[in-house]
A and B are shown apart, each in its own frame.
Chain A
Amino acid sequence: MHAHSDAGMDDRAEQALIKRAKAGDRVAYEQLLEPAVRPATRLAFAMLHDRSEAEDVFQESALRAWVRLGNLRDESRFQPWFLGIVANQCREIRRGRWWQVLRLPDARAMRAVDDGAWLEGEDLRRAVQRLPYSQRAAVLLHFHLDMPLSDVGTALGISESGAKTRIHRALKRLRPAMAVSEVRVNG
């Protein structure tokens, strides 16, 4: 089950809005953007862990998407494309403040998962922050925003199987004590 926040906007209606937005219709663009506000800010918050910065990222991404709307291919859906811009913007922000990112020696990180459970709370946050960018974005898009793998691939500019591979690799790091085969990655 995927609880898309843009559910309800059928493909034809969305394509019509995209066409109007590409022609400069701000109202149409706002209608496209509205369902993306919550998933985009949730993604940015998870990537950055800063409410204010996450909202800034949303705004910057919305401005970028506005001027790059012509790059959105025909029949493509808006939200995965837009969330890819958000994820990229988060990466740029993180590059600028890399010193705040924490990392543990492997042995210490391994201890956190000895109890055979998924990481939680601060441990999970740190583990996610330690993931390489592409894996982190893939996990958050799929598990946190409930995006199907095809949309994760669109957002990250990779294939669906590539998205699945990244998520599997990430899961190993989030819970190395658990066999990856135990985790179901929804397609």
Chain B
Amino acid sequence: MADETLRRNLDRTFDPGPGYPDPLLLSRTMAMLEPPAAAAGRDGRWKGREGSRLSWPRTGLRLAAALLIIVLAIAAVGTFLVAHRALSPSVPAGPPPPRGTIVFGRVVNTNDNEHIFTIRADGSGEKELVATSTCCVVWSHKGDRLSLTTSPAGGSSSGITKAIVKADGSDYRVWPLDTSGLNLGATAWSPDDSRLALEGWDNSRPSLNGLYTADVTDGGNRRRLTTTTAALHDIPISYSPNGSRILFWRGQPDAQTQGQLFLVDADGTHLTQVSPPGMRVWVGFFGDPGGWSPDGSQISFAATSSTASDPGRSAVFVAAGDGTNSKRISDWGDYTTSARWSPTGDWIVFDTINAAAGAHTLFLVHPDGSGTTPITPLAGGCCAVWSPGGDRLVFTRGSSDQVLDLWTVMVDGSHLTQLTHSPASLTDIGWSATA
């Protein structure tokens, strides 16, 4: 029975193991309960949270503290306004408004499918790029086109291929499905926008899994660059700035923490592992785990080295442009998932858990490991992408992975701006200079 199979699979998957729960859990819990007399009112009815360990025992003290906080807040705001007014004549004009267009994938609640949207960097003009469910959108370098992944026949078993569309949403062209059944997924554009690096896979013939390149126009002149063992998947991250190498992720398709970063020459030679052996690199929800320095001489990436007591132990690394000599440049942190070089070359933005704030947020660090700076006043920020000029970042922010909006912020933490106002699951963010 299908449902019994699901039951069995769930039981196996979510088996907490032997000795669980702790046999003393109930007695420990009961010991935490307030005495009934404290929890019950005179009439025997329960009095809200007064019996909880979370309750504040002195309501008067609580009110006094709240009043004090309000008074202090009013005083601080007043002081700020007075100071700001006094200084305002000498304050220089603010930065120019953000320019360009941001693309992103949004999971639409009505059908739980991903749809691609664009929005101008100043928050205006949000629109759906193409009126169909696609995913994995990537800007071309010139910003005139975007690549998408689509299943033209409407089902994964019928084949997945690429589509190219102009930046204004016109001229949507789907590559013909591969006649041999090879699926074509994640993408990176070559620097001259003439070729795409592609993830190719075939579940029925996993020996075909590997990294491929093909012409942008129609997927022609396809060339295979890598082969894998054990049906691994090679997912391209980006070409080097001069187009000679391709940075890619290799791992199990759905085991995002099990992968490693590799480099291969654009002709398929000189395969080199970039991430340190034994460490793992994330790919997927958090976007690209790393990228190239603007001059192509170095690569930044985030990698995880879990321990039993610290499963999120992770850091930012920098390697030489040939993939060798990777070294850690940040302190060990929790769940660092991306490290992306600024277009100006002087910063790497990365995300990790801010221990002080208790939330995942964004940090900057110089490529030599100095100057680590949280981009305040952010909380809950993730997955930042640089503006083309390198003065701003766009990132996701929200209360959960399914109620995210896009925000932008200047590199110095100022001009925090909410771009979208339709909380949803967001992914595949890109920023082009295209107006």
Instruction: Report A's interface with B, CB cutoff 8 A.
Output: 22-26, 29-30, 33-34, 37-38, 41-42, 45-46, 49, 51, 54-55, 58-59, 62-64, 66-70, 94-96, 98-115, 117-126, 128, 132-133, 139-140, 143-144, 146, 169, 171, 173-178, 182-186
How far is the CB of B281 from the nearest CB of chain A, in Å?
13
Q: A34-B26, A108-B254 are in contact. Are A102 and B21 (CB under 8 A)?
A: no
List the one stretch of B34-42, B56-64, B264-272, B384-392 in contact with chain A.
Answer: B34-42
Q: Is B274 part of the binding interface, using a Cβ–Cβ cutoff of 8 Å?
A: no
Establish whether residues B427 and A105, one from each chain, have CB atoms under 8 Å apart when the complex forms.
yes
**Chain A hits for B113, CB < 8 A:** 106
Establish whether residues A51 and B400, one from each chain, have CB atoms under 8 Å apart when the complex forms.
no
Smallest CB-CB A-B distances: 6 pairs: A24-B36, A110-B156, A99-B360, A46-B14, A103-B285, A41-B21
**Chain B hits for A30, CB < 8 A:** 26, 30
Establish whether residues A183 and B25, one from each chain, have CB atoms under 8 Å apart when the complex forms.
no
Q: Which residue of A lies closest to B109 (CB)?
A: A132
**Chain A hits for B26, CB < 8 A:** 30, 33-34, 37
Establish whether residues A66 and B14, one from each chain, have CB atoms under 8 Å apart when the complex forms.
no
Q: Is B405 part of the binding interface, using a Cβ–Cβ cutoff of 8 Å?
A: no
CA distance A101 to B39 in the complex (A): 37
Q: A111-B253, A114-B156 are in contact. Are A143 and B3 (CB under 8 A)?
A: yes
CA distance A162 to B353 in the complex (A): 37
Contacting residues of chain B (1-52) with chain A, CB-CB under 8 angstroms:
1-3, 5-7, 9-14, 16-17, 20-22, 25-26, 28-30, 32-33, 36-37, 39-40, 44-52
CA distance A97 to B337 in the complex (A): 14
Establish whether residues A111 and B9, one from each chain, have CB atoms under 8 Å apart when the complex forms.
no
CA distance A143 to B2 in the complex (A): 11
CA distance A184 to B341 in the complex (A): 51
How far is the CB of B227 from the nearest CB of chain A, in Å?
19
- DSSP class of B's interface residues: helix, strand, loop or mixed? mixed
In the complex, number of A-B residue pairs with CB atoms less than 8 Å apart: 212
Q: Is B408 part of the binding interface, using a Cβ–Cβ cutoff of 8 Å?
A: no
How far is the CB of A96 from the nearest CB of chain B, in Å?
7
Cβ 8 A contact of A184, one of B2, B10, B25: B2
**Chain B hits for A125, CB < 8 A:** 13-14
Establish whether residues B135 and A42, one from each chain, have CB atoms under 8 Å apart when the complex forms.
no
**Chain B hits for A51, CB < 8 A:** 16-17, 20-21
Establish whether residues A25 and B21, one from each chain, have CB atoms under 8 Å apart when the complex forms.
no
Q: Is B296 part of the binding interface, using a Cβ–Cβ cutoff of 8 Å?
A: no
Establish whether residues B335 and A99, one from each chain, have CB atoms under 8 Å apart when the complex forms.
yes
**Chain B hits for A102, CB < 8 A:** 256, 284-285
Establish whether residues A126 and B254, one from each chain, have CB atoms under 8 Å apart when the complex forms.
yes
Q: A107-B156, A114-B157 are in contact. Are A66 and B399 (CB under 8 A)?
A: no
Establish whether residues B28 and A67, one from each chain, have CB atoms under 8 Å apart when the complex forms.
no
Q: Is B123 part of the binding interface, using a Cβ–Cβ cutoff of 8 Å?
A: no
Establish whether residues A109 and B21, one from each chain, have CB atoms under 8 Å apart when the complex forms.
no
Cβ 8 A contact of B44, one of A23, A37, A176, A182: A23
Question: C-beta contact mask, B408-435 vs A, less than 8 Å → 1, else 0?
Answer: 0000000000000000010110000000
**Chain A hits for B122, CB < 8 A:** none
Establish whether residues A64 and B400, one from each chain, have CB atoms under 8 Å apart when the complex forms.
no
In addition to A110-B160, A121-B9, 18 A-B residue pairs with Cβ atoms within 8 Å of each other are A24-B40, A37-B21, A41-B20, A45-B20, A58-B25, A105-B136, A105-B427, A110-B151, A111-B254, A112-B254, A114-B203, A124-B9, A128-B10, A133-B402, A139-B10, A173-B112, A176-B156, A184-B1
Q: Which residue of B lies closest to A177 (CB)?
A: B157
Establish whether residues A144 and B14, one from each chain, have CB atoms under 8 Å apart when the complex forms.
yes
Q: Is B288 part of the binding interface, using a Cβ–Cβ cutoff of 8 Å?
A: no
CA distance A45 to B28 in the complex (A): 18
CA distance A122 to B12 in the complex (A): 10
Cβ 8 A contact of B183, one of A100, A111, A177: A111
Question: C-beta contact mask, B174-186 vs A, less than 8 Å → 1, else 0?
Answer: 0000000001011
**Chain A hits for B2, CB < 8 A:** 118, 178, 182-184
Q: Is B89 part of the binding interface, using a Cβ–Cβ cutoff of 8 Å?
A: no
Q: A63-B32, A115-B203 are in contact. Are A107 and B135 (CB under 8 A)?
A: yes
**Chain B hits for A177, CB < 8 A:** 156-157
Establish whether residues B382 and A99, one from each chain, have CB atoms under 8 Å apart when the complex forms.
yes
Cβ 8 A contact of A103, one of B1, B40, B337, B425: B425
**Chain A hits for B39, CB < 8 A:** 24, 66-67
Q: Is B323 part of the binding interface, using a Cβ–Cβ cutoff of 8 Å?
A: no
Cβ 8 A contact of B10, one of A54, A122, A124: A124
**Chain A hits for B14, CB < 8 A:** 42, 45-46, 49, 125, 128, 140, 144
A-B contact pairs, 25 of them (CB 8 A): A24-B37, A41-B25, A42-B16, A45-B14, A46-B14, A51-B21, A66-B52, A67-B47, A67-B48, A68-B46, A99-B337, A101-B401, A102-B284, A105-B284, A106-B114, A108-B253, A109-B254, A118-B5, A120-B12, A120-B13, A121-B12, A122-B13, A133-B402, A140-B14, A186-B3
Establish whether residues B3 and A54, one from each chain, have CB atoms under 8 Å apart when the complex forms.
no
CA distance A128 to B133 in the complex (A): 22
Establish whether residues A95 and B33, one from each chain, have CB atoms under 8 Å apart when the complex forms.
no
